[in-house]
Structures are given as C-alpha cells and as structure tokens.
A and B are shown apart, each in its own frame.
Chain A
C-alpha cells in the first residue's frame, strides 16, 4: 500500500453536459458555459460559491479566465489552464489535490469539444471552424488543413499493429469493443451515434490506415461537460449522493518506444491500485478510455481483467450475444454510456460523467443495479494515461 491521504476526501457533487452532436451550431465557449451552468445548478450551488476553476484544454476549449468572467464567478483562489494533450482524469487529479490541499473549497472543471477541420474532413468547409482551428494549435500538433494528412494518428496505428503482431490476434478483437460501444450508446440520449453495428459492419468499414479503420477512431463532436467538486464533508450538505475520488493516479514513463509490457498505462493502473482499498472484483462499472478501440482493449488488460494480448479472448468469453455487448461476469458493462466510439470523443469526460451518474443511481435504463464503485481511465500510450476509482458514499 502506498501513501494516499486524499483517499475519499473529495467528491464530485455536480455534473453538466450539453450532449454531443456532429454540428451543434454553437461555439465551444457557448457549449462550455452551458455545461458549467448545468453542473453548478446540479450541485445546488451558485457561481459565487466557486473558488477554483480548471480548464481541461483540448482544441478550442475556452480559458478559465474567460469562463470565470462569463459565469460571473467573483473570486478564485486556484485556477489551472492546460495546453496540449491533457486528458480529463489528469485534470480531475489537479482539482482533487487543490481541494485537498485547501487551495480552493469548490472547484469547477470543464471540457469543451469542437469538431475542427484538423479532426474532421467535413468540418473543413466551415470557415468558423477553420478559423477556430487556426487559433487553437490542437494538441501541439502542427496545424493541418485536413484530417487526412498523416499526423496525430500515426503513432497509434503503429501501436495497434504492434499489438496485433504480439498478441497474434485479429481485427475482430477490436471489433468486439467497437460493437459494444455502439450498442451501449443506443441507450444514451447524449450520444451522437445511436445505431448499433455488426461485426460485418466493423470489418467492412473503410480502412483509414491499416489496421485502423474508421470505426476504430473516436467520433469528432461538438459538446461540453463540466464537473463541480468539493470536500466530502461539504458534499454531504448538497442535493446529490456524493461520489468520492477513492484513488487516482497518472502514469508516465521515460521510454517512448512501443513496448506493450511497459507503458504509461501500466504505471497509472499499478499506482492507482497501490493507493486503493478497493480491488478489481469490487468494481461495478468499468469505463476505459477509448479514443481508439485498441486503447480500450489495452485498458481492459491493464486494469487486470486479463493479461496483455488476451483482451480479444476475454471479450469473447464475456460477450452477451442477446445484448450484443460485453458484460463482465454477466453483470459489469464496459463503457455503459457508449464511450468515445459511440457517445463521441471527449478525452475521457464521458467516462467521468457516466461514473458519477451510475454511482448516483441516475443512469435510467443504463443503470447498473446497486452500483457503488466505478473505475474510469483516460489517456493512452506513454504520455498521458490516468486511472481513477470512484465510490458513492451516503
């Protein structure tokens, strides 16, 4: 066991989302404000109660200073702005630490998405989106006029190929994960893709960069999510059942090569478990990051459900043919909201939201009965993975 004084000390008490769409006809800032106002209301608070604000920068996410002014938050004693590839769970860790340390009592964190020309060919015709992309410097990647210019996904294709080579698996292994996502998204009103697919659909989808096909990649969307966090003591006075952060960790290593046995993902999970009283068998809801299908499969392996390269066999073993989705041990869904491959690419924001909604018992037809513990991950590869365990407390 590793020292973890912040265990169960900080809770998520408010969530807000605009829902996702291919073209919501609004700016990223407008979406962010909408989600933040919803999250503050959901927490039973007012903007004047917020004392910290955290910007989960991704493409054209508005900066925290702008949002503080727009939302009418008078004073912040803590704020954080991030550039580049910063997944949501990493920012959750910053917010939790800020509250635990006393830098702020109530923190608002938000994440706004915008379907940009560098992410979506169909967005390249929209002059407003082109202009937004020119000013964003998305993820530190040089600006590109179109999404088909080799760039961001190249490293992921290499990793995917390496995975197939070492596991001696086939593309069907990823197909199960994608079908699962699309099935789960059908029941999520916030999701952009609400039609199920078959294995034939997956295997015949357009190949983008072999072995990565169109359906292996998350869906560029417009939308925003926001979260309000505070101390667990304060949370007990607020309207919703508090969802506490039990254990959380980043993971980054100093070797950028494609070694599947030693990656940031391995470290993030190992560190998360070392700080946790909860074990894998206690998890009721599993929400792995799935910006690419194979990263979701690898998270399945990393958290300990099976060994490296066995994800495909594991999904087959735990596949519910009647429900067309993964149910671990017949009861634990994987990305019950549809994940980035079904709901829309959110750099992990969707996973966090679903964890909170499930542990509150507010997931409607998606609800996992009696859910009290959730495991969510975000990021991938070596540079930005994270893992977090949530628990609901009375």
Chain B
C-alpha cells in the first residue's frame, strides 16, 4: 500500500517507523467489524463522526482483529489517513506512541473491553457513543 508523502500513519508495532511521539487532544481507537459503518457487519460509528474527531485534533486509528494491511485498505477506501492501525492486542503500544490527555477505545465486544482495560484505555461501546453530539464526546467515558 502507498500511504502518501508525509503520512502520519504508523503500523504498531513497526520497527521501520520512527518512534517519535505525536501529541494530540486525545487518542481514539476504533474496532472495525461491528463498530464502524464500513465494518462487516456494519456498526454505528459513521465516517462523519470520525471526520469530526479529526477536526477537533484527536489522534484516530483502528485496533482490530483484521490484519494491519486490511485495516489500511479500509481506511484508504474511506479516503482517510489514520494516525495508526494496530492489532487488537497492541493497544498498549498505541498508547506508548502518542501523548494525549485521554485514551479511548471503541469496540463492540467484551474482547475489545478487555484489551482496552489492559492498556488503560477508557472503553466505549459504539452504540453509547454520542454520534449526534460529537463536540461533547468523549467527555464522560463509561
């Protein structure tokens, strides 16, 4: 996959990518299948919502059981360059890569919830995300 010049995409872990830290308002990691509307099965999180987070300065990406290559392909189809893609078990590595005030993982299974807890991410079910009020989210993570 061609990621584009100046891309901030990092595949975690990836020894070939410089390990410089990126600073953002917060890190929001999404599961894909059952979580994103482009997942299989589709989930409730819309592309517009992700655009909104990006515009507010959030670091966004996916942590999924899909391979990093598949995740990048999905992002490319959406026309979005994510800040990271990682395997579901690598949330802790994502946390180590970015400096932010908050770290959130959104997923539709208790496996997501478990890995989020291990990596000290706040966890949200996708159906609890306030899609209609994105400016306030994630003010009060569950």
Q: Is A206 a contact of B88 with CB atoms below 8 Å?
A: yes
**Can you list 18 A-B pairs, Cβ within 8 angstroms, ordered by A?**
A22-B33, A23-B41, A23-B42, A121-B108, A121-B111, A122-B33, A122-B34, A122-B108, A146-B110, A148-B111, A192-B40, A195-B69, A195-B70, A197-B69, A201-B67, A206-B65, A206-B87, A206-B88
B109 contacts chain A at the CB level, 8 A cutoff: yes
Bound-state CA distance A198–B68 (Å) is 11
Bound-state CA distance A146–B108 (Å) is 12
Bound-state CA distance A192–B33 (Å) is 13
Q: Is A22 a contact of B110 with CB atoms below 8 Å?
A: no
A369 contacts chain B at the CB level, 8 A cutoff: no
Bound-state CA distance A32–B87 (Å) is 35
Q: Is B109 a contact of A214 with CB atoms below 8 Å?
A: no
Q: Is B40 a contact of A125 with CB atoms below 8 Å?
A: no
Complex interface bits, B54-76 against A, C-beta within 8 A gives 1, otherwise 0:
00000000000101011001000
User: What total of chain A residues lie within 8 Å of the partner, measured CB to CB?
Assistant: 19
- B65 surroundings in chain A (CB, below 8 A): 205-206, 214
B102 contacts chain A at the CB level, 8 A cutoff: no
- B110 surroundings in chain A (CB, below 8 A): 121, 146, 148
Bound-state CA distance A204–B64 (Å) is 12
Bound-state CA distance A214–B65 (Å) is 8
A175 contacts chain B at the CB level, 8 A cutoff: no
Bound-state CA distance A206–B109 (Å) is 14
Interface residues of A (CB under 8 A from B): 21-23, 121-122, 124-125, 146, 148, 192, 195, 197-198, 201, 204-207, 214
User: For chain B residues 82-100, which have a beta carbon within 8 Å of chain A?
Assistant: 87-89
CB-CB nearest 7 A-B residue pairs = A23-B41, A122-B34, A121-B109, A201-B67, A22-B40, A22-B41, A195-B70
Q: Is A197 a contact of B67 with CB atoms below 8 Å?
A: yes
Q: Is A205 a contact of B108 with CB atoms below 8 Å?
A: no
- B33 surroundings in chain A (CB, below 8 A): 22, 122
- B69 surroundings in chain A (CB, below 8 A): 195, 197, 201
> Once A and B bind, how many residue pairs between them come within 8 Å at the CB atom?
44
Tell me the smallest distance from the CB of A180 to a CB of chain B, in Å.
16
Tell me the smallest distance from the CB of A33 to a CB of chain B, in Å.
22
Q: Which of A23, A197, A205 contacts B40 (CB 8 A)?
A: A23
Q: Is B70 a contact of A21 with CB atoms below 8 Å?
A: no
User: What total of chain B residues lie within 8 Å of the partner, measured CB to CB?
Assistant: 18
- A206 surroundings in chain B (CB, below 8 A): 65, 87-89, 111
The chain B residue sitting closest to A145, CB to CB, is B110
- B67 surroundings in chain A (CB, below 8 A): 195, 197-198, 201, 205
- A192 surroundings in chain B (CB, below 8 A): 40
- A23 surroundings in chain B (CB, below 8 A): 40-42
- B40 surroundings in chain A (CB, below 8 A): 21-23, 192
Bound-state CA distance A173–B40 (Å) is 29
Tell me the smallest distance from the CB of B18 to a CB of chain A, in Å.
21
- B73 surroundings in chain A (CB, below 8 A): 195
Complex interface bits, B119-142 against A, C-beta within 8 A gives 1, otherwise 0:
000000001000000000000000
Tell me the smallest distance from the CB of A206 to a CB of chain B, in Å.
5
Q: A22-B41, A125-B108, A148-B111 are in contact. List 20 more A-B contacts (CB 8 A).
A: A23-B40, A23-B42, A121-B108, A121-B111, A122-B34, A122-B41, A122-B109, A125-B127, A146-B110, A192-B40, A195-B70, A195-B73, A197-B67, A197-B69, A198-B67, A201-B69, A206-B87, A206-B88, A206-B89, A206-B111
Tell me the smallest distance from the CB of B72 to a CB of chain A, in Å.
11
- A148 surroundings in chain B (CB, below 8 A): 110-111
Bound-state CA distance A205–B87 (Å) is 8
Tell me the smallest distance from the CB of A163 to a CB of chain B, in Å.
24
Tell me the smallest distance from the CB of B1 to a CB of chain A, in Å.
12
- B127 surroundings in chain A (CB, below 8 A): 125
- B42 surroundings in chain A (CB, below 8 A): 23
Tell me the smallest distance from the CB of B117 to a CB of chain A, in Å.
14
The chain A residue sitting closest to B67, CB to CB, is A201
- A124 surroundings in chain B (CB, below 8 A): 109
Q: Is A204 a contact of B108 with CB atoms below 8 Å?
A: no
The chain A residue sitting closest to B126, CB to CB, is A125
The chain B residue sitting closest to A146, CB to CB, is B110
The chain B residue sitting closest to A125, CB to CB, is B108
